[in-house]
């Protein structure tokens, strides 16, 4: 059984002097929020222009079954404009593997007794993490 609530989706485009440094600074800030799982980190230098693509997840677990996740995707064409595009999506997930009688009994107990509390903690933590990431993005935009 898996329950996922997507709580926010946000896109920003900021002008920065160095998109690569800005994206690495945001990645470093994310590591203070939760576990960072890098999916893609590519700097293409073919031809006259350069392109940056970075994707990672920020994950904070509350127990073996509940967590929040922020998917972050950044891209930039590194030319005269130097605009860094940032997409974020935040979700809260509860996942319990149900195999056999005891697992189904535990899943029922978890949903009735613990789900509301762990989901509330996850949502609160996700909201705080969203604010931290948005303030970091705003600080990067001001530095440009």
C-alpha to C-alpha distance for 31 and 103, rounded to whole angstroms: 33
List pLDDT tens digits, range 120-144.
Answer: 999 999 999 999 999 999 998 887 6
- Is 1 exposed, middle or buried (CB count within 10 Å of its CB: 0-12, 13-18, 19+)? middle
Task: Determine contact, residues 91/9, Cβ cutoff 8 Å.
Answer: no
Residues 92 and 60: their CA atoms lie apart, in Å, by 10
Coil, helix or strand at residue 49: coil
Segment 43-76, tens digit of pLDDT: 988 877 789 999 999 999 999 899 999 999 999 9
Phi/psi at 67 (5° precision): -160, 165
pLDDT digits (tens, 9 = 90+) for 78-125: 877 789 999 999 999 999 887 777 688 888 888 888 899 999 999 999
DSSP state of 34: S
Query: Would you state the pLDDT for residue 106?
Result: 85
Give residue-wise pLDDT tens across range 21-45.
Answer: 999 999 999 999 999 999 999 998 8
Packing angle of the helix pair 115-143, 19-31 (nearest 10 deg)? 150
CB neighbours of residue 24 within 10 Å: 15
Query: What pTM does this model have?
Result: 0.88
Q: pLDDT at residue 5 above 70?
A: yes
**Listed residue (38, 94, 100) closest to 64, CA to CA:** 94
Q: Both tokens of residue 129? A: 């993490």
Looking at residue 38, what is its pLDDT? Answer: 96
Q: In what order do the strands lie in the sheet with 83-95?
A: 2-15, 83-95, 66-78, 50-61, 35-44
Question: What is the reported pLDDT for 130?
Answer: 96
């Amino acid at each position: 059984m898996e329950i996922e609530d997507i709580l926010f989706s946000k896109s920003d485009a900021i002008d920065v002097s160095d998109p690569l440094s800005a994206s690495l600074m945001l990645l470093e800030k994310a590591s203070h929020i939760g576990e960072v799982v890098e999916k893609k980190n590519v700097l293409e230098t073919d031809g006259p222009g350069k392109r940056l693509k970075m994707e990672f997840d920020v994950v904070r677990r509350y127990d073996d079954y509940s967590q929040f996740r922020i998917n972050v995707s950044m891209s930039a064409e590194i030319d005269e404009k130097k605009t860094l595009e940032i997409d974020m999506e935040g979700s809260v997930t509860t996942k319990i593997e149900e195999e056999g009688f005891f697992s189904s009994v535990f899943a029922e107990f978890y949903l009735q007794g613990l789900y509301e509390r762990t989901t509330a903690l996850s949502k609160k933590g996700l909201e705080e993490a969203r604010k931290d990431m948005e303030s970091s993005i705003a600080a990067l935009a001001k530095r440009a």
